[in-house]
Structure 1
Amino acid sequence: MFETRTYDDPIVLNPAIRSRWAFLETSSAAAVLRSVCPVEWADITAVLEAFALDPAHWLKKGGNRGDIAKVIDGLFAERGWRETRVDLVTQGVLLSRNLEVMERLPPVEQEGYLVDNFKGRVALDVEWNAKDGNLDRDLSAYRAWHEAGVISAAVLITQDRGRLKELAERLWSEHQATLPADQRNAKLPIDLNTSTTTNLEKAALRVRRGVMGTCPLLVVAATPETWNGQPYSVV
């Protein structure tokens, strides 16, 4: 396992962005992205700088493809990123001592999945409220694609659920206090106690088991500092 912290280098990542998001990386992912995929890295940092967590979109039902994921995906779409399916085809070739082709074995196809955002040699998924099993699919695919030379690095955008829970409860309590007394018993529209959805902690558990091999992976998680400072309101 190659866990690194190149995102702490102000040359690699603007400290203003660093202060608003939590990060986890393997194999110097942020530095690799900046050096090897500068156009894509500029897009990623621009989105992280522009996005702010809006309680009106955050504290509502919607699952993984809810408002938060749609907003982030939309920001990437504006910069030319596209939802893309990546399949791999591997073929063995038997050679003689003189390097003459003796036989071509039947190709083996590895079916992929639709990556939320793909551009150049970077795969990027937004896993906000998906089942945490999605992480196993994502991370194993990133490793396979990297080993096959398809991508240079991968990025996963999610949430620091533990740190956001306290903020969500406070915003909801403040909102409830503005309502008439007979309307103050409503529960938060989202489940803050579930242990089966994607988040920074779930991603870290998998990364620290060494599942990424040498694939550079950057995990970015929204924190209370990503919040736009606005109270909860119904949209």
Structure 2
Amino acid sequence: MFDTSTFDDPFVLDPVIRRRWAFIETSSAAAVLRSVCPNEWADIVHVLSSFELDPKQWLRAGGNRGDIAQVIDGMFSQRGWKETRVDLSTQGILLSKKLEVIERLPAVHQEGYLVDNFKGRVALDVEWNAKDGNLDRDLSAYRAWHEAGVISAAVLITQDRVRLKQLAETLWFDYQQTLPEAQRNSKLPIDLNTSTTTNLEKAALRVRRGVMGTCPLLIVAATPETWNGQPYR
């Protein structure tokens, strides 16, 4: 894996946004996106600068298509991104030494999956509370699409589970203090203890195994700095 950090370059990404989110990338993904896919990069930067983590939406059970994922997907949808299935079709062509076609082999069709957001040559998924097996599917697909020339880069938006768990516990404790003692419940309304859902740690573990090949991948994770500063109510 070509582990890079072009997102730290203020020419590539505004330092204000850099401080609000955690980033990991391969193959200079942020710089590639800015240079090769400037319109899509502008959309990504806009969403990252505009989105704020709202406890009312965040601390609510909802699975992988919960409120947070829907909000982020909606922000991209407003900028022309679409949920898209990407299939690949590969055909072998046998040529003679004189480059004359000898035979065209039957095409091999590979069915893809629905990417949350697709525009231009960029695939972007929001994996908030999905099963971590989704990461294997996403990353292998990104690599295949990049090697086939379909995409220039991929983006995965998720959460920094460890750091957000600490914030959630603080917000939930403060909220409980506003309730009558008989109504208090120390258990968080969502499970942030599980290690089987998608998060920054799980995604980083996979990409550091080298599963991306040469595909530029930018992983973006919400942190306590992404929080809107409001209490849970």
* Coarse TM-score class (shorter-chain normalised): over 0.9
Deviation at 1:103, TM superposition (A): 0.5
Deviation at 1:186, TM superposition (A): 5.3
- Bigger mean CA deviation after superposition, 180-189 or 165-174: 180-189
Secondary structure at the aligned position of 2:174 is classed as helix
Secondary structure at the aligned position of 1:19 is classed as helix
| Number of aligned residues | 233
Secondary structure at the aligned position of 2:63 is classed as coil
Tell me the equivalent position of 1:122: 122
Cα offsets for 1:182-214 (capped at 9, x unmatched): 001252110011010000000000000000000
| Alpha-carbon distance between aligned partners in 2 of 1:227 and 1:22, rounded to the nearest angstrom | 13
Cα offsets for 1:27-58 (capped at 9, x unmatched): 00000000000000000000000000000000
Tell me the equivalent position of 2:192: 192
Please state if 1:145 is matched with 2:145.
Answer: yes
Divergent runs of 4+, >3 A: none
Tell me the equivalent position of 1:26: 26
Please state if 1:44 is matched with 2:79.
Answer: no
- Over 3 Å counting, the alpha-carbon distance change for 1:166 and 1:186 in structure 2 is closer
| Alpha-carbon distance between aligned partners in 2 of 1:185 and 1:89, rounded to the nearest angstrom | 54
Secondary structure at the aligned position of 1:31 is classed as helix
Tell me the equivalent position of 1:205: 205
Q: Do the aligned residues in 1 keep the contact of 2:117 with 2:124 (CA within 8 Å)?
A: yes
Tell me the equivalent position of 1:102: 102
Please state if 1:176 is matched with 2:192.
Answer: no
Tell me the equivalent position of 1:58: 58
Cα offsets for 1:10-34 (capped at 9, x unmatched): 0000000000000000000000000
Tell me the equivalent position of 2:84: 84
The letter of the residue matching 1:222 is A
TM, length-normalised to structure 2: 0.99
Deviation at 1:85, TM superposition (A): 0.2
| Alpha-carbon distance between aligned partners in 1 of 2:190 and 2:33, rounded to the nearest angstrom | 34
Tell me the equivalent position of 1:157: 157
Query: What RMSD, in angstroms, separates the aligned Cα atoms of the two structures?
Result: 0.5
The letter of the residue matching 2:80 is G
Cα offsets for 1:150-199 (capped at 9, x unmatched): 00000000000001000000000000000011001252110011010000
Secondary structure at the aligned position of 2:99 is classed as coil
Secondary structure at the aligned position of 1:7 is classed as helix
Secondary structure at the aligned position of 1:64 is classed as helix
| Alpha-carbon distance between aligned partners in 2 of 1:201 and 1:36, rounded to the nearest angstrom | 28
Please state if 1:67 is matched with 2:52.
Answer: no
TM, length-normalised to structure 1: 0.98
Q: Which runs of 5+ in 2 are unaligned?
A: none
Secondary structure at the aligned position of 2:72 is classed as helix
Q: Which runs of 5+ in 1 are unaligned?
A: none
| Alpha-carbon distance between aligned partners in 2 of 1:202 and 1:187, rounded to the nearest angstrom | 24
Cα offsets for 1:44-87 (capped at 9, x unmatched): 00000000000000001001100000000000000000000000
